[in-house]
């Protein structure tokens, strides 16, 4: 009897440890935040070239992450890339209409992300609006081509 | 020539037959109402298969995490990217090493024991005596072992990952001097709960099914002699290791490859 109680306790402890382990992995390793997703609102932005930008990439403002890239698709009207951004809802109706979105690279070979910088327009962007002032990704090959072409004309 | 062809055909038929037996065996053992009696039997097996495997799994996890950190550091430091150590250690553990190595250890530690135990029961005709007195050995002997295996291995995998990441921290941060904030911070920004941890757990669940199934079936299906038991035990370890490694490739291609 005593032995079987010990065994039950051991198995219980084992399963409890497994559950604690999963919680540890969730919270501490994957940085899962309890309480579901934060409220977001969406903005659109068209880029001539998105380079290596992927969906779920960060959207930052002054280096602080304020949202994620939700969706990337080809705009068949203009044949450029239409990027949907999901931003923290605290920024809704706060960003000026002439906010610029540019595709930046973290480090020399790092992942690409979108940097926002506010302008001075008193009008603000509401949910679903489009950011008109955008800057495409820096494509290294094009840069080198330009550089070579300039060298040739000199 | 003719006899060779006949033999080949017979081998083929035997293989298909064994597969069929294994499938029916699994189905018959798992179907059934849960009962208090069954729960107690399951608990006993959980203790043997799960709790007693914990030590070997945790010690291996610790060493693998430490080695990963050490190896990763020497490579990453050349590129000045030692801040990415946490990300490297955690992703390789969660996605790949924890499910696979835990399953291999599990096959060696628990799988072989299951085969030998059930095999000996068969050789000493305990299984047929059970049938004689009206107790279904599939329900009484096999089912609790199967369920215990299915539950234990994912839990052991979690333990492996946790202690491995801690081992990586021990070597990377405490010993080699990677900044602690970047170890955890880079890890948190790159590990996704569903994609990495969830898929790793899914892998480990599949491995648990396969390894336990192979182990128990080999025990149940062996030739009831001492030689038969030794052969079946060897087969359990060989088959389950091969199955784990092969399935791992398939699952990885489905989960992390660009196929999905």
Half-sphere exposure of B229 (CA within 13 A, CB side): 15
The tokens 């932005």 sit on which residue?
A45
Q: What is the pLDDT of residue B260?
A: 46
Contacts with A26 from chain B: Cβ below 8 Å: 193, 197
Yes or no, beta carbons of A15 and B151 under 8 Å apart: yes
What's the pLDDT tens digit per position in B232-245? 999 999 999 999 99
Percent of chain B with pLDDT over 70: 99
Contact A7/B at CB under 8 A: yes
Mean pLDDT value across chain B: 91
Give which of B47, B65, B184 to mutate to test A binding, by max A Cβ within 10 Å: B47
What's the pLDDT tens digit per position in B123-135? 999 999 999 999 8
Gap between the Cα atoms of A61 and A112, Å rounded: 14
- The SS3 call for residue A137 is coil
Mean pLDDT of B15-31: 88
Yes or no, beta carbons of A25 and B197 under 8 Å apart: yes
Yes or no, beta carbons of B90 and A17 under 8 Å apart: no
pTM: 0.77
Say whether pLDDT at B138 is over 80: yes
| Torsion region of A79: left, alpha or beta (phi above 0 gives left; psi -120 to 50 gives alpha) | left
- Of B67 and A138, the one with more pLDDT: B67
* Close Cβ partners of A96 (under 8 Å, ≥ 6 residues apart): A118, A119, A120, A121, A122, A123, A124, A125
Q: What is the pLDDT of residue B258?
A: 65
Gap between the Cα atoms of B190 and A68, Å rounded: 14
Q: Are A53 and A112 in contact (CB under 8 A)?
A: yes
Gap between the Cα atoms of A118 and B123, Å rounded: 79
Q: Are B85 and B68 in contact (CB under 8 A)?
A: no
Out of A2-6, A55-59, A64-68, which region has the weakest mean confidence (pLDDT)? Answer: A2-6
Say whether pLDDT at A36 is over 60: no
What's the pLDDT tens digit per position in B95-117? 999 999 999 999 999 999 999 99
Mean pLDDT of B2-14: 90
């Amino acid at each position: 009897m005593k032995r079987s109680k010990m065994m039950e306790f051991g198995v219980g402890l084992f399963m409890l440890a497994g559950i604690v382990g999963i919680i540890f992995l969730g919270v501490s390793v994957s940085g899962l935040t309890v309480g579901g997703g934060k409220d977001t609102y969406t903005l659109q932005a068209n880029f001539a070239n998105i380079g290596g930008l992927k969906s779920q990439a960060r959207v930052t403002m002054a280096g602080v992450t304020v949202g994620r890239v939700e969706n990337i698709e080809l705009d068949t009207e203009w044949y450029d890339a239409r990027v949907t951004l999901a931003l923290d809802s605290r920024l809704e109706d706060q960003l000026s209409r002439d906010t610029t979105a540019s595709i930046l690279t973290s480090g020399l070979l790092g992942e690409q992300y979108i940097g926002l910088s506010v302008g001075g327009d008193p009008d603000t962007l509401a949910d679903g609006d489009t950011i008109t002032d955008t800057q495409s990704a820096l494509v290294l090959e094009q840069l080198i081509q330009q550089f070579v072409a300039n060298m040739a004309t000199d | 020539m003719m006899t060779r062809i006949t033999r080949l055909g017979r081998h083929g038929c035997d293989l298909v037959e064994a597969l069929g037996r294994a499938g029916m065996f699994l189905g018959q053992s798992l179907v059934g109402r849960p009962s208090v009696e069954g729960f107690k039997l399951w608990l006993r097996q959980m203790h043997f298969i799960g709790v007693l495997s914990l030590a070997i799994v945790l010690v291996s996890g610790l060493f693998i995490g430490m080695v990963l950190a050490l190896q990763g550091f020497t490579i990453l430091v050349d590129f000045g990217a030692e801040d990415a150590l946490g990300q490297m250690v955690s992703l390789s553990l969660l996605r790949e090493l924890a499910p696979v190595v835990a399953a291999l250890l599990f096959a060696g530690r628990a799988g072989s024991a299951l085969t030998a135990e059930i095999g000996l029961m068969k050789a000493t005709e305990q299984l047929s005596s059970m049938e004689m007195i009206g107790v279904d050995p599939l329900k009484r002997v096999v089912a609790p072992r199967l369920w215990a295996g299915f539950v234990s291995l994912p839990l052991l995998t979690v333990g492996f990952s946790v202690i491995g990441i801690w081992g990586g921290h021990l070597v990377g941060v405490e010993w080699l001097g990677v900044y602690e904030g970047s170890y955890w911070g880079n890890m948190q920004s790159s590990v996704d709960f569903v994609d990495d941890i969830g898929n790793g757990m899914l892998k480990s669940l599949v491995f648990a099914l396969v390894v336990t199934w192979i182990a128990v079936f080999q025990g149940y299906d062996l030739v009831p002699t001492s030689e038969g038991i030794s052969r079946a035990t060897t087969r359990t370890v060989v088959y389950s290791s091969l199955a784990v490694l092969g399935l791992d490739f398939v699952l990885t291609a489905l989960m992390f490859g660009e196929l999905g």
